[in-house]
Amino acid sequence: MGAGAVAASDLPEPYEFLDLEHGHRIQLSIQSFQLGTALIHPTAITPRAIRLYMLQNGLTAPPVQGTPISNRIAVLRVFGQRLDKASPLGYWDISSKRLQADLAPRLKFSGGQPLIVTITANGYKPVKLFSVEQG
């Protein structure tokens, strides 16, 4: 792990998931980060959510329709400040695997220095993608 990283485990609540609408952006100065997991309770029960629930609970058949489900997901929590507008938040939780894959190496190799990034959302769920500009 790089400077500023903490071992993966359940992240403490409250969760502050980064969720941008298409075309919206956020500029952050990230001082540190933590890799972990979060237990979520999806409101839209998709086939993907059911597959993950079955896998995580060792089920061979889907749960009865209407059964509340929860999924444990990987989360990258970034600590810092928002630069483009005032925000009371001190951290943001990132659940997008592609955005995690883009940011994690940048954070690991930042040498403990603040990493300034602009994250832009492109598209709509479930195929929303994020672009990252550094600096």
CA distance 125 to 121: 10
Amino acid (1-letter code) at residue 33: F
Omega into 126 within 30° of 0, i.e. cis?
Answer: yes
pLDDT at residue 44 in the model: 83
CA distance 36 to 126: 22
Tally of domains within the chain: 1
Whether 83 maps to a domain, the answer reads: yes
The tokens describing 69, both together, are: 């489900």
Q: Which domain holds residue 117?
A: 25-37+75-134
pLDDT at residue 1 in the model: 40
- Give the residue ranges of DSSP H helices in 10-95: 47-57
pLDDT at residue 16 in the model: 97
pLDDT at residue 4 in the model: 47
Whether 62 maps to a domain, the answer reads: no
E strand spans, 83-123? 91-94, 115-122
Whether 53 maps to a domain, the answer reads: no
The tokens describing 5, both together, are: 């990283």
CA distance 48 to 95: 15
Model confidence, pTM: 0.85
Please identify every stretch of the chain with a pLDDT value under 70, giving residue numbers as ranges.
Answer: 1-8
